[in-house]
Structure 1
Amino acid sequence: MLFRVRMFCPTMNRLLLAVLTAFPVFAFAQTNAPAPSGDAPTIPVERHAAITGQGYFPVAIRLHDGRIAVVMRGGAGHLGLAGRLDMIFSSDEGKTWSKPVVVNDSPIDDRNPALGVAKDGTIVVGFWRTATYDDAGKYSPKLTDKERSTWVTRSKDGGQTWSEPARIDVSDIELGSPFGRMVTLPDGAMLMAIYGYQVRPAGEKLPGDRNHSYVYRSTDDGQTWKRLSEIGDGKQQLNETALERMPDGRIIAAMRSRAGEVWLSESADKGSTWSPTKQLTPVNVHPADLCVLPDGRVLMTVGNRVGPFGMLGIVSDSRGLFDWEKRFALVNDALGRDCGYPSRIALKDGRVLTLYYATRVKNEPAWKEHCGAVIFTPPAR
C-alpha cells in the first residue's frame, strides 16, 4: 500500500490527498487541524466496572490459557509514593473479574506498566519506579537526584507469583518509562515501547531534554532488554506509544505528542526503522491503542480529554485509511479530564473489549475511581 495522508487545509478550505511513495507502508489519515471531538456519535456498548477504587493506566492482553489479564496501578491515585502494580484476570471474556494480585510494590512509586506474553507463555511486565516526591509527598520531577529507574518482572505461573524485578539499563536516555502492550514476534523476540530523553553518553546531562519514543527488544522471553530504535525524527516530543503487529508482519505505532495529539508511524523491518510520523487526532485526544480486526481493518481507541470526556474509537477502511470524521464515542460521561488510557482485547465472538480508567462518571456515580470495561461491535465497513 501507499502511505496515504488525508489532510485538511483551512486556508484553502478543501481536502487534499498526498501520496508518499518512499516505500509501501500502512495508509493513515491525517488532519492538519482535526475537528473537536464533542460531536462524535455513540454506538451500542455493554459497560461495567472491572474494578473500583483503583484502575489507572490499564494494559490488557490475552494469555496462552485463554484468560484476559489486565495490569494497572493500585495503592494511590494518578500520583503517589504508595503506587503499586496490580493484575486482574477474566476467564469469561471480560464479563467478570478476579480480585487483584500484586505484581510489584516497592517502598516508592511503581507505575506506568507495559504488559506482554513471551512465546513460552511467561507474562512480562515492564514498569517505571520513581522517588521524585518532596517531603510533603508532592510529586516533583525536578528532584532528579532521587531514584528514577526502569524494571521488568515476570510470572511463569499465570500471574500468581512474580520474579524479583530486574533493572533495564536506560542510562543512555537518562530515564525510561514503559507503555502499553508489548509485541511478541513469530521468532520469539519481544518489543516494548519506552519513552525517555535524547540518547547521550550514560550520566551526561543535556540542556532542553525532550520526550523521545523508543522501541526496546528482548530475545530471552523478556528477561533482558536493549534499545533497538527511535520512532520519529528526534525533533518531535513523542511519548506513550502503542504498538500492533499486522498480519503481513508490519508493525504500526500510535504515539502521544507533548501537545496531546496522536501521531502514527509504521515499521516494515520488525521495529528497526520507522516511517515519517503523521498526525491523526487533535490536541488533548490521547493516548491510543490499536487492534487488527478479523476483516483486516484497524481499530484505534483513544482517550478524549476535549469533551465530553471519555473514550473514542475510529476504524480504518479496507485500504487502511483512517478518516477522523468517522470517529465514534465509546464513553462520553467522564466527569473530568483524568480519564482514558484504553487497552483492548479482541474477543472470541468478534466483538472488542476495551478497558479504560476514569475518576468519576456521570452514569455510574457509585463507581467513583475505577477501571471500566466496554464491549462493542466495531462499525461495519
Structure 2
Amino acid sequence: MSVLKNVEHYTIYKDEEHCINQIATRLLKNGDIIAVYNEERFPYHHDSGQTLIARSTDAGKTWSKPRVVLPWSDTQGNWDCGICEMSDGTLIVNLTITGFFKRGVKPEQPSWSAHPLTMEWGDWTWAYKTQAWLGTYVVKSTDGGESWTQPIPVNVRPLKHGGCRSGCWELPGGSLLMGLYGRIHGYDEEGEGESTRSALMRSDDGGDNWEYYATLAYDPASIIDYEEPGLLRLTDGRLVCFLRTHVNPSGDAKNMVMTISNDDGFSWTPPKWTNIWGYPPELITLQDGRHLMVYGYRRPPYGVRGIISEDGVTWDVKNEFVIREGGVPGKSSTEKPGSSRMSPASGKYGGGQINWDHPGVYQHIGYPSVVQANDGTIVCSYHEWSDDERPLQYVRCTHFRV
C-alpha cells in the first residue's frame, strides 16, 4: 500500500447560497491547472445549474475567482462538465444541457408537497417532473477561457441520452474521444427496461462534428448498468477504461469493471470485474511511469480513495489508499429541501441528525479528478458537503506525494 506524503487540504470554491459540485481538472501545457465545475441553481443537487471555470498557477494551492463558461437561464441549465486542452491550445468543455424547470402551464391545483420553496423561484416541487435532457454539447475557447463559442451539439445517435463525466481525450493523431453513458430507448438517466451503456463519441475535426464511435460496455440482459467511463492511454498505445456499475432492479452499486482497446478505441474487450469498489474513476499516468486511479467512496466512512498500478492493466484493492475521508455532514437542526431525484411525497428532510449509514442525497460526494503538477505534487479535486446548519456542497482538493 502506498504511503501518502506531504498531505494538505485546500478549499477551491464554496458559495454561500448554492451547491458547488462535480469538478473536472486538467494540467495545461504551461503548467497551470484548469478546473471546471458545476454551480447548482439551488442549495441542493438538481443538475440544472451552470458551468464555472477557475485556474491555479501554484499547483492547486490557490485558485482564481470562478468565471461562468455557460450561464443558466430561466429555461435552461447545464452540468456534468469536463475539460480538455487540445494540441493547438484550444480549450474544449463538454457538458449536458437541460431545460424547462418551472411549470410552463399554470397549475390547476397545489403540488402534492410544497417544498422546496424559495422567494425567488416559488414552489419548485414540480421541477423534477418538467426538467428534461436537451442534449450533449461542447464549447470551445481559443483565448485561454476568456471567451467561448456558442454550444456545439454532439450527435450521440443512436443514443437518446448521453451523460458526461470526464473531459475529452485527444489521440496522438488529433482525434477527440468523448466518453458518455446513456440508452437507445430512453431519455432519462435510468429505467425504461434498458440498462445503461457506456460509449465513445469521436470527432476528427476539433470537436465541431461528432458521431458514435464505439461501445465500451453494454449488458443486453439489462441487469448491469455501465456508467461514467474513465480513460487512460498507456505508453504502448493501449487504452484502458474503468466503468462505474450498478445492478438492476435494485440499482445497488457494485465493483468497477475494466475494459481494454488495442486499436485507439474502435473495439474493446468484454468488461472484466475488478475487486475495487467505488465510483466514478479518473486515471492519469504519473511522472515516474506508474498509473494512478482515484474514485469516490460512497459508503461509510465515505470520501475519496486511490490506487497505483505499475503497468496500467493490473489493479488490486490491496493497494488502495485513502485520499480524503468523510464529506457527509453531521447534525443539522434546520429543515433541508428534498432533491429533484425524490418523489413529490418525499417533500423535504426533517430537522435533526443525518443518518450516517443512510444519508440520502447527502451521499452525493466525491466525483474526484486528478492531475500531477510539474513539481510532482498530485492534486486530487472533489466535492463534499459542508457541516453547516444548512449543508452545502463545495469543491476542495488534496495535495500529496507518493
Distance 1:139 1:357 in 2: 27
TM-score with structure 1 length normalisation? 0.79
Superposed, 1:341-380 pairs within 5 Å as: 341-360=367-386, 369-378=393-402
Superposed, 1:130-209 pairs within 5 Å as: 130-131=98-99, 133=101, 135=103, 136-138=123-125, 146-198=132-184, 208-209=193-194
Superposed, 1:19-98 pairs within 5 Å as: 45-53=7-15, 54-76=19-41, 79-80=45-46, 83-98=49-64
Q: SS at the partner of 1:111? A: strand
C-alpha contact 2:161 2:184 (8 A) present in aligned 1: no
Query: How many residues in Structure 1 have an aligned counterpart in Structure 2?
Result: 332
**Residues 241 and 337 of structure 1: CA distance in aligned 2, closer, same or farther (over 3 Å):** same
C-alpha contact 1:58 1:355 (8 A) present in aligned 2: yes
C-alpha contact 1:298 1:320 (8 A) present in aligned 2: no
Distance 2:100 2:236 in 1: 43
Tell me by how many angstroms 1:122 deviates. Answer: 0.6
Identity across the alignment (%) = 26
Q: SS at the partner of 1:325? A: helix
Q: In the alignment, residue 151 of structure 1 is paired with which amino acid?
A: Y
C-alpha contact 2:37 2:53 (8 A) present in aligned 1: yes
**Residues 319 and 172 of structure 1: CA distance in aligned 2, closer, same or farther (over 3 Å):** closer
Q: In the alignment, residue 211 of structure 1 is paired with which amino acid?
A: T
Tell me by how many angstroms 1:170 deviates. Answer: 2.3
Structure 1 unaligned blocks of 5 or more: 1-39
Q: SS at the partner of 1:253? A: strand
**Residues 132 and 306 of structure 1: CA distance in aligned 2, closer, same or farther (over 3 Å):** farther
Tell me by how many angstroms 1:91 deviates. Answer: 1.0
Tell me by how many angstroms 1:159 deviates. Answer: 0.6
C-alpha contact 2:218 2:226 (8 A) present in aligned 1: no
C-alpha contact 1:252 1:267 (8 A) present in aligned 2: yes
Tell me by how many angstroms 1:184 deviates. Answer: 0.8
Distance 1:342 1:126 in 2: 17
Tell me by how many angstroms 1:334 deviates. Answer: 1.3
Structure 2 unaligned blocks of 5 or more: 104-122, 247-251, 329-361
Distance 1:238 1:180 in 2: 15
C-alpha contact 1:79 1:139 (8 A) present in aligned 2: no
2:65 pairs, out of 99, 121, 128, with 99
Tell me by how many angstroms 1:42 deviates. Answer: 7.3
Distance 2:257 2:79 in 1: 24
Q: Does 1:214 align with 2:215?
A: no
C-alpha contact 1:80 1:109 (8 A) present in aligned 2: no
Q: SS at the partner of 2:158? A: helix
1:296 pairs, out of 272, 289, 292, with 289
Q: SS at the partner of 2:399? A: strand
Match of 2:351 in 1: none
Distance 1:223 1:209 in 2: 30
C-alpha contact 1:132 1:141 (8 A) present in aligned 2: no
Match of 2:350 in 1: none
Distance 1:143 1:89 in 2: 35
Tell me by how many angstroms 1:327 deviates. Answer: 0.8
TM-score with structure 2 length normalisation? 0.75
Distance 1:222 1:62 in 2: 20
Which stretch shows the higher mean deviation, 222-231 or 367-376?
367-376
Distance 1:181 1:257 in 2: 20
